[in-house]
Structure 1
Amino acid sequence: MSKEKSESEIEEKKKNTSLRLSNKTLKALKIKAIEEETSVQKIAEQLIEDYLAGHIKLKKRK
């Protein structure tokens, strides 16, 4: 008897991390995620992947 793997089992294993964001930033991010029918997790992961791939450059702050 073979078991089909769930989507989460096929997907790469993930680790938890945490971020410190201002209340204002986190609230805006949650609202944007809801408007785009996605999650804060997916937004953060995509942004990080794009940054690591060199598609996004950080602005230098004074």
Structure 2
Amino acid sequence: MSKDKKSSNKDDKAKKKNTSLRLDSKTLKALKLRAIEDDTSVQKIIETLVEDYLKKS
């Protein structure tokens, strides 16, 4: 990984805050499996869904 990508990744992490979320165990398991299938993370899926939701008026 290049230095530019590493420093950019650190900048992104510095801007993020933690939160917690309670999901039904079956829902969370399905979400984790889907994230693996899509080669992404649960965090990224939820972040994308929230961003899309907030864009709607």
Give TM class, smaller chain: 0.7 to 0.9
CA distance in 1, matches of 2:56, 2:34: 24
The number of aligned residues is 53
RMSD of aligned C-alpha atoms?
2.2
TM-superposition CA deviations, 1:7-40 (whole Å, max 9, x none): 2233261000010000000000000000000000
Identical aligned residues as a percent: 63
Highest relative contact order (Cα 8 Å, sep 6+), 1 or 2?
A: 2
Q: Which runs of 4+ in 1 moved over 6 A?
A: none
TM-score (norm 1): 0.74
Who is 1:47 aligned against?
A: 49
Counterpart of 2:10 in structure 1 is: 9
| Structure 2 residue ranges without an equivalent (≥5) | none
- For structure 1, the residue ranges without an aligned partner over 5 or more in a row are 56-62
Distance 2:46 2:7 in 1: 23
Kindly indicate which of the two structures has a greater share of residues assigned to helix.
2
Structure exhibiting the larger radius of gyration computed from Cα positions: 1
